[in-house]
Structure 1
Amino acid sequence: MTVTVAPAVQLPRRATPGVGTTAAALSLLIVTGLWVGNGGLSDLTSGDAITAIGRLTGLYASDLLLIQVLLMARIPVVERAFGQDRLARWHRWTGFTSFWLMVLHIVTITGGYAAGANFFVTLWDLIWTYPGMLLAAAGALALVMVVATSIRAARRKLRYESWHLLHLYAYLGVGLALPHQIWTGADFTGTAWARAYWWALYLAAAGAVLAYRIGLPVLRNRKHRLTVSRVVAEGPGLTSVYLTGDRLAELPVRAGQFFGWRFLDGPGWTRANPFSLSATPHGDTLRITVKDSGDGSSRVARLEPGTRVLFEGPYGKLTGESYAGEPVVLMACGIGITPLLSLLGELPYRDGDATLVYRARTEADLAFRSELEWFEARRGVRIVPLTGPRARSASWLPGELAGTGDAEALRQVAPQIAESRVYICGPEEWAATARAAAIAAGVPADRVHTELFAW
């Protein structure tokens, strides 16, 4: 068989990651300054301290909630700077922090207004009689639902499609909170500076969502008009979909990236599912490979040629953007082989300088055998299959290597590991242990790149 090896696509230079952290800290500092300028500090030292704290926590909660929206608005420069894994972690952290600040805001504001009276009666009075508060209460309930279903234990019990649909209620929560800030929020409307800041932040969040979650995908879909070309069964529960379209060479995608896909084949098309490219993108074809693990993925095997496809992306930074010609080690677990297989076709490594460590539960689960044999024969890639149940929960190794340390085993299968650039893709826990093993084996942390199959 023939495997296409494509030249790397040059993408714009990444933004510096520290810029994002600094911007977030600066926004909280601005909010604090606006609160102080509106008398917050003097209220804090007077008899109105509880209400002053309530105002400040409400401002922090709103600020972090809008930052949370911006983090996952799919802004290209932000995506390239941080990558989906890091953005998702920050999104969760800011989300939970914003939620608990919102709870503290509700408790302290109500307590301040109650001034010794019945707390729940005062809360009901605020919700029922103050402008915008009924909408804000509905928004708070929407956010409670989003946070409750974002807890790890809850996510494990939900299908991805259900979780994704429920998560969209976060936008409803943000929108319903705005009226009460405009009508009753003294720190929102107290000064021209405050109005300018908050309107700018709300408009930036809304504009980013409209531009990059809706506008850019619409433009790219109109331009490229993807359709299913053919569907190929790769193994038990594993299906590859080949896609063709217009001017695909102009799509700014690299090997290792993923898209959100919607197949227009019937009910369920409104929900996008994230699948990585499993072959190096080239002029007229894209390929994804999907494991049957839910409603969206199980439909893929039944797709017919000619089915229209909508996509969002590309996303992710598990790419060869920073590769400088050093030896390369790719570590895949299960369906995590897909983006690494596409990277094998793009990275310009020398013959014998690439090692693929491929973890699977059984021999039958090792997919793409003919393609891997091609890379082994034509480009000197060392293929190291590791099969069997895991040695232990905190190890990336199979049970037969349980007596070997994680880092030592990696040195044995990839002797050049300390000088290599490492790419890791697989389930969250497995990828974390594989990354720790690579660093313990001497790989600098900035040369270890991961993509997690988690949500």
Structure 2
Amino acid sequence: MKPVQWLCALVALNFVWVTDLFVLGRGFERLGEPGGLLTAVGRLTGLYGALALVVQLVLVARLPWLETRLGMDRLTAWHRWTGFWVLWLVLAHLVFVTLGYAAQDGSHVLGELDTLVFDTEDVGLATIAAVLLVVVGVTSARGARRRMRYESWHAVHLLVYLAVLLGFLHQVGLGEDFTSSPAGRLYWWALYGCALGAVATSRVGLPVLRNLRHRLRVVSVVRESPDVVTIWVGGRDLHRLPARAGQFFLWRFGRRWWEAHPFSLSAMPDGRFLRITVKALGDGSAWLQYVRPGTRVFAEGPYGAFTGARATRRAVLLVAGGVGVTPIRALMEEFAHARADIVVVYRAGAPQEVVLADELRTIARRCGARLHLVVGPRGAPGLQGLSTLVPDARHRDVYVCGPPGMTGAVRDTLRRLGVPDDQVHTERFAFAA
């Protein structure tokens, strides 16, 4: 089974377990009473919301087994999609339970809501958790997200962990799976424990351990153009760091340690140095233009499935757009070491936007690769242009990295050229944007 199938099967199995525990706990026992159906639906949506929240935590835990096979961009997209399901299920839980209790007590809905929130033990905690989830959901909407700095959005997003804690306390205090079912109690403790343990291990423990071991620092800074620099990072025992060409790290530099920036490696790791090439596109990357040698570095990763491990053929086509050439340059170096048949198409809007062209030419001469620099005001290489440059594209694994618009256009072109989707590999490195 593929990783996606394993993940879907695991989620489905837990969905069945949650439903089974609800039924065994006599969740449908009171259907004949006033408000019984509404209350049952409310309880069930609350349990499904809790399960979706656990799934969301696992997706963002950055577990190496999942992340290196599925890619951070895909896991992040699923995490976002699951988050909205969490929000709707929690709100449905609140609405149906309130309606059910109001029907049971014969009271007004607003009065019943007031009683539940302010006079019922542990429901106040759940209300705070629901409010926090709403805040996180609203700020995660695309329109709101574009108007916020990443650091501000990330700080708000951390409220999810507080919501998880408050929701769990609510479930422990009032959930019948806890109060009346030893099996349910064991299941939910194990489920929350595994999810939070995965987050603590992969998001905190592993990065701290690796940085204590490797003690990364900036070794040198090389200016490639007026707005592009290459930063060399050194440390101890870097040969023990499981990084590959095409992957990226979340980088934190010196006195601005709280700012994490996803930059892909621009050279194949050699066990001595890690190298990134950064273009000034925002406040953080602009500041890195002036970082000094000796600056302490904290790197979280490596992340990404955009690696040579996905190749199924000896022949490869590497397509880069703008600063997306950085992982493509690293992959070109790795494929050159593997003596692959390499074609590189590098698209830039203007001559001053071309980055690392001399290095690409050097690697191409050394391994006999074909390098095409396509410079001009147009967007991605068109159908006719790409078919002319690489007439055997359908017989190659294709790696594409660049702006989203270009990446989408190249994928459409490759599809029209008959290249199977499983031979086309892409990944969004700026997943936080």
Same fold (TM over 0.5): yes
Q: Where does residue 93 of structure 1 map in the other structure?
A: 81
What is the Cα deviation at residue 32 of structure 1? 1.1
Corresponding residue of 1:41: 28
Q: Is the 8 A contact 1:55 1:187 kept in 2?
A: no
Q: Which moved more, 1:215-224 or 1:323-332?
A: 323-332
Instruction: Give, as a single letter, the amino acid of the residue that structure 2 aligns with 1:382.
Output: R
Letter in 2 for 1:439: R
Find 2:228's aligned residue among 214, 233, 238.
238
Q: Which moved more, 1:47-56 or 1:230-239?
A: 230-239
**2:82 matched to 1:71?**
no
State which of 417, 420, 428 in structure 2 corresponds to 1:444: 420
Distance 1:133 1:387 in 2: 61
Contact 2:132 2:159 in 1 (8 A): yes
Q: Which moved more, 1:114-123 or 1:171-180?
A: 114-123
Q: Does 1:414 align with 2:390?
A: yes
Aligned to 2:180: 190
What residue in structure 1 maps to residue 297 of structure 2? Answer: 309
More deviation, 354-363/41-50: 41-50
- Measured after TM superposition, the shift of residue 257 of structure 1 is 0.4
For 2:246 and 2:63, how far apart are their aligned partners in 1?
Answer: 18
| CA deviation vs aligned residue, 1:276-299 (integer Å, no higher than 9, x gap) | 101111021110112222232222
Matching residue of 2:3: 16
Q: CA RMSD in A?
A: 2.0
Determine if contact 1:410/1:441 at 8 Å carries over to the other structure.
no
2:260 equivalent to 1:272:
yes
TM-superposed CA distance for 1:164, in Å, is 2.1
Show the counterpart of 1:106. Answer: 94
Rounded to whole Å, the distance in 1 between the matches of 2:282 and 2:180 is: 50
**SS of 2:427 mapped into structure 1:** strand
Give the unaligned 5+ runs of structure 1: 1-13, 398-405
Q: Distance in 1 between matches of 2:337 and 2:252?
A: 34
How many correspondences in the alignment? Answer: 428
- Residues 245 and 334 in structure 2, CA contact (< 8 A), matched pair in contact too: yes
Secondary structure of 1:229's partner?
Answer: strand
Residue type of the partner of 1:39?
R
Distance 1:176 1:410 in 2: 54
Is the 2:76–2:431 Cα contact (8 Å) retained in structure 1? no
Do the aligned partners of 1:278 and 1:342 also contact (CA within 8 Å) in 2? yes
SS of corresponding position for 2:343: strand
Q: Are the structure 2 counterparts of residues 445 and 44 from structure 1 closer, same or farther at C-alpha, using a change threshold of 3 Å? A: farther
| Separation in 2, partners of 1:52, 1:17 | 32
**1:224 aligns to 2:214 (yes or no):** yes
C-alpha separation between the residues in 2 aligned to 1:390 and 1:125?
63
Q: Distance in 2 between matches of 1:43 and 1:196?
A: 25
1:167 corresponds to? 157
- Residue by residue over 1:313-369, the C-alpha shift from the partner in whole angstroms, topping out at 9 and shown as x without a partner, is 111010011334421111122221111111011114787931222222212101012
* Aligned amino acid, residue 231 of structure 2: V
1:190 CA drift (Å)? 2.8
TM-score normalised per structure 2:
0.93
Kept in 1: contact 2:123–2:170 (CA 8 A): yes
User: 3-state SS of the aligned residue for 2:425?
Assistant: strand
For residues 229 and 336 of structure 2, the distance between their equivalents in structure 1, rounded to whole angstroms, comes to: 28
Paired residue for 2:132? 142
- The partner residue of 2:274 within 279, 286, 289 is 286
In structure 2, how many angstroms separate the alpha carbons of the residues matched to 1:185 and 1:68?
Answer: 21
1:27 aligns with 2:3: no
Task: Using the TM superposition, name which of 341-350 and 326-335 deviates more.
Answer: 341-350
Q: Deviations over 1:69-100 (max 9, x none)?
A: 01110111111221112211211111111111
The aligned counterpart of 1:53 is: 41
Greater Cα offset, 161-170 or 39-48: 39-48
SS of match in other structure, 2:259: coil
How many angstroms apart in 2 are the aligned matches of 1:386 and 1:118? Answer: 69
Q: Counterparts of 1:316-335 in structure 2 under 5 Å?
A: 316-335=304-323
Task: State the one-letter code of the partner of 1:434.
Answer: V
Q: How far apart in 2 are the matches of 1:242 and 1:167?
A: 32
Deviations 1:97-152 (A, max 9, x none): 11111111111111111226332332222111222222222222221121112112
Change (3 A) 1:352 1:52: closer
- Rounded to whole Å, the distance in 2 between the matches of 1:235 and 1:45 is 75
- Is residue 353 from structure 1 mapped to residue 329 from structure 2 by the alignment? no
Q: CA deviation at 1:374?
A: 0.6
Q: 1:337 aligns to what? A: 325
2:111: which partner in 1? 121
**CA 1:159–1:426: 2 relative to 1, 3 Å:** farther
Looking at structure 1, the residues matched to 349 and 141 of structure 2 have their Cα atoms a distance apart, in angstroms, of 28
Instruction: Give, in angstroms, the shift of residue 49 of structure 1.
Output: 0.4
Candidates 403, 406, 410, aligned match of 1:427: 403
Structure 1 counterpart SS, 2:14: helix
Counterpart code for 1:256: G
Structure 1 residue 373 displacement after superposition: 1.5
Whole-Å separation in 2 of the counterparts to 1:170 and 1:389: 44
**Maintained 8 Å contact 2:336/2:367:** no
SS of 2:308's equivalent in the other structure is coil
For structure 2, the residue ranges without an aligned partner over 5 or more in a row are none
Task: Give the direction of change, closer, same or farther, for the CA distance of 1:126–1:255 in structure 2 (3 Å limit).
Answer: same
- Report the 3-state secondary structure (helix = DSSP H, G, I; strand = E; otherwise coil) of the residue aligned with 1:269: strand
Deviations 1:24-83 (A, max 9, x none): 111111111111112223445654001111111111111011110011101111112211
CA shift, 1:214, in A, is 0.6
Equivalent in the alignment of 2:370: 382
